[in-house]
Structure 1
Amino acid sequence: MRVLVTRPEIAAARTAGRLKAMGHEPVHLPLAKAVHDLPTAADALRQEHAALAVTSAEALRVLAAETLRPLIDLAKPLFAVGEATAGAATSMGFSEVHASAGDGADLAGLIAARSGTTTAPILYLAGNPRAKTLESRLAEFGIPFRLAEIYEMVAVEYEPDDLASRLNNAHAQALLLYSHETAIRFFKIVPADLAALAGTRILCISERTADAVPAAFRPLAEIAESPNETALLALL
């Protein structure tokens, strides 16, 4: 099956490997790229914090910068959404990594269960845009936290004719959508009557992502059982 992958370059390469191992053919159409904010990350790491929280592996790619490594205390607990992000943290050298199986709300519950009674804040290293479920749930739990936006996902621009040509030539049987924001972006730039999407399965990582699929395409949308890539690819 030919599968259209809309993730940024680095994440898409990992997804492509998984798709090939499953016998599928990935077709890459990146819709965003990450712009890292190293000064903001450095300032945040210098301030007192009890643990780190990340909801995307992109935050760890920011921390991998040479200028930031001396500021990172690898002995501090790190809380991550998903096993893939947790694995990336372990590979970086963090000695105590905790992973939630769901989204930011699930991660907040995990932090609440494991953070103890420390008064130092959790440092949430986040991107923009993002779902704000982690910070809202931490506030509900009464857990102190500090938010640092250390990267921004900016749109990759395509000319309309170029985009239509790419999609027509892709002949994709399935489209992978990993976030609400990506779904909005995709259907904002794709012509509503594009014949290339006729019959294409639209696979969404979460209900929130599916909510961004326009009504005309909703009959083609399917939602993963859990908000992670393994469950998303299981739809194939």
Structure 2
Amino acid sequence: MHFSTTSAALAAAALLSTVSATPTNVIRAATTTFPTAAGTSHLSAPKVISGTFDGKMVRFDRGSGACTGQTEGGDADAVFQVADGGHLKNVIIGADQAEGVHCMGSCTIENVWWENVCEDALTIKQKSGTSYVIGGGAKGADDKVIQHNGGGTVSIKNFYVSNFGKLYRSCGNCGTQYERHVIIDGVTADNGKLLVGINSNYGDTATITNSCLKSTVKEVCEEFKGNNNGDEPTKISTGISKSCIYTAKGVATC
């Protein structure tokens, strides 16, 4: 992992102060133990969530053969579509799915576990505002866990990720691009290529605190030059900067 010396702690505190507290009364401690499913529900179409849906730790999927690897899917391929302001909690997403959860606007994803990510675990489509990922975890993502296609901020707290390509990626080549921000706090990561990828040419920032990365995580934060024409984005730099805001103490090897 790459660390360098900077005054990032002050910048991180300033950015964190601009985001309201996570909308929950109980913040779970990060755990690396995946829960046992209370049952399994095979969905023939995405389950649309408005308001709050408590899955009571049932496993939801889209049936045998739903996963098509890294083939790009759409909203119709998701297990859950969460409407603007929706709150999905206490759910297990099974391996038989192409797209896990699509947030159509600002959403709260609480204690949701992806047993084996197919294309993406969570896709954020809000144009503005803040979406919250609180607790839960994901494993087995060949590429991205959280794909941020819309704008605004994503807050990820007390999340566990294992065997992954990227925990978070700001879309590098979407047709409509936004300034995006991600705040990561209390994450535990194991066996991954990259924790965070952002497009600094669009003003993206990543703030990472209180997180524990195993030595098998290769990089903490990378900056890219994104585009809106579908081309592969160009990597600019790796490590702490004015856009990748963290310290060696705040992102420790564990």
Fold in common (TM above 0.5)? no
After TM superposition, the score normalised by the length of structure 2 is 0.25
Higher helix share: 1
After TM superposition, the score normalised by the length of structure 1 is 0.26
Higher strand share: 2
Which of 1 and 2 has higher RCO (CA within 8 Å, sep 6+)? 1
Which one has the largest radius of gyration? Answer: 1
